[in-house]
Amino acid sequence: MFSGGSDSHESEAIGSGSAVRAESTERLHFLRSHDLSTELSPALTELIDLEAEQRRIDHRRAELLLEVTETGVCDTLHGHTASAWLADRTQLSPKACGARIMVTRRMTARHRLIIDALEDGRVGWQHVKVLDQVSNKRIWSGLNDLLPEIIELAQVAGFERWARELRGIGHQMDQDGGYDPATDSANNELRLVATADGFTYVSGKLVGELALTIRKLIEAETDRVLTRYRSDAEASDDETPVPRRAQAAAEALAELLERGSGVPDGEGRLPEPELVVILNEETGKLTDDEGNHLSLEVLRFVLAAGLIRPLDVSNSGDPLRMGRAMRYANRQMRRALLTRDGGCIFPGCDRPASWCDAHHVDEWEHGGPTDVENLALICRHHHRVTHRPSWVMTRDPDQTSYVGFRWRTPSGHFIYSQRHQQRNPTGRCASP
């Protein structure tokens, strides 16, 4: 009866809601007449009770997240968005906290019934997330009409089947509305995630002309790379190994980018990638500006590629202290700040240095110098927080913080700066 949208006639039956309602009613009658709760062991009973309690907790969490987001209390008292504050205080991923808040806001606005069903224990948070993935501005109203049946189906169908049926409904509704995801450029995504083990993970999705162009370019370059390796293997009597196609594809992508970086843009400029290498004099370890370990082999390649450039100095010979000679931090100062601060120094913020302003702690307008000791990397959001009435940023006289700065909030509490997203636990927030 259910097809997940693969057959148009069955999808139309799902869309009408009659098929969902009929099967749900039939299965509910069966389950109620065959109550097996008396056969459960104490451990199994406790597991079921814990899941029911977890659903109530998820509902209460959703209510609280909605409240703190709408009231702005985190921003008012602590200078943070709700997701950043929650991530900082709970040591959770900012991305995960932000995603939960966004799901809560969308589902409360579009599908209040699913939030109520979460409180009643009829669905779990995983059901809410799938509905959020399926629902969009084109079809959410139509999905809302079917929501009672969709929630009812969750009582009798396994989660995987329920999710498949819901996606089938959403797909059919979108097709009927004339939407073609392959032509929507907003579906193009690319993410690069560097990890502490030295790996960089690449993920994303491409659609339309962009997908076709990039796929064909990489495939053609991969064939060229493999041909070169096979030629080398033949010339060396197979002493030169031929890599897997996946490895060759990675090298092909790098070669395409390297060649492309040698082509000037419309203004005649070339891309200028830079890498800051930090040497720990005590341990002898080399890391980049994000704390990732750099091996000597990687560093040799970086040197050969010319990605490390010497510092340029001013007439005084000092690139880090310009006094009143210039207002804005130059490139050398930003490199020094990147090495010292690592990113936004507001505690709990994870914005990288490339997203930050070089803020004058003693303001330029009031005679503050453009010296590295008077500059701090602050993201645009916390830059605005710093300039709010009754928020005061100064140097930390007791050097309690990692970088040496602190904020006094309107309530008189002190917040101490962090370095490389690492904060002093004793300097989180103190009374005056």
For the stretch 18-30, pLDDT in tens is 554 455 455 545 5
**Does pLDDT of 4 surpass 50?**
no
Boundary-marking domain end, from 157, 181, 205: 181
Give the per-residue pLDDT at 275: 66
Pair 108, 59: CB distance under 8 Å: no
Q: Is residue 426 a contact partner of residue 400, using CB atoms and an 8 Å limit?
A: yes
Q: Helix 159-176 to helix 125-134 angle, to the nearest 10 degrees?
A: 20
How many beta carbons lie within 10 A of that of residue 139, not counting itself?
19
Question: pTM for the whole thing?
Answer: 0.65
Per-residue pLDDT tens for 343-364? 999 988 888 888 888 899 988 8
Same-domain pairing of 171 and 194: no
> Percentage of the chain with pLDDT > 90?
36
CB-CB neighbours of 53 under 10 Å: 11
Alpha carbons within 13 A on the beta-carbon side of 405? 26
**What is the C-alpha to C-alpha distance for residues 81 and 85, in angstroms, rounded to an integer?**
6
Q: Is residue 323 part of a domain?
A: no
Least confident of 76-80, 83-87, 163-167, 396-400: 396-400
Task: Report the mean per-residue pLDDT for the chain.
Answer: 81
* Pair 304, 409 in one domain: no
Asked if 172 and 202 sit in the same domain, the reply is no
pLDDT digits (tens, 9 = 90+) for 178-198: 777 778 888 899 988 877 667
- Average pLDDT on 205-212 reads 89
> Which pLDDT value is given to residue 3?
39
Q: What is the pLDDT at residue 300?
A: 63
Judgement on whether residues 240 and 153 belong to the same structural domain of the protein: no
Considering the domain architecture, whether residues 198 and 279 belong to the same structural domain is answered as: no
- Whether 2 shows a pLDDT value over 50: the answer reads no
Q: Are residues 76 and 135 in the same domain?
A: yes
| Under 8 Å between Cβ of 371 and 392 | no
Count up the domains in the chain and report the number: 4
**Residue 44 and residue 25 in one domain:** yes
Query: With bands split at pLDDT 50, 70 and 90, how would you rate the model's confidence at 276?
Result: low
pLDDT value of residue 318: 53
Q: 287 pLDDT band (50/70/90 cuts)?
A: confident
**pLDDT value, residue 15:** 45
Residue 263, in any domain of the structure: no
Residue 399 in any domain: the answer is yes
Residues 220 and 337 reside in one and the same domain: no
Report whether pLDDT(36) > 80.
Answer: no
295-334 pLDDT, tens per residue?
A: 776 666 666 555 555 555 555 555 566 666 667 777 778 8
Asked whether residue 303 is assigned to any structural domain, the reply reads: yes
Please tell me the predicted confidence (pLDDT) of residue 104. Answer: 95
81 found inside a domain: yes
- Do 165 and 224 lie in one domain? The reply is no
147-151, 239-243, 364-368, 417-421: the lowest-pLDDT one: 364-368
Q: Can you give the residue range of the structural domain that contains 295?
A: 270-309
β-bridge partners, 309? none
**In Å, how far are 153, 387, 396 from 393, measured between CA atoms?**
55, 9, 9
Question: What mean pLDDT is predicted for residues 222-239?
Answer: 87
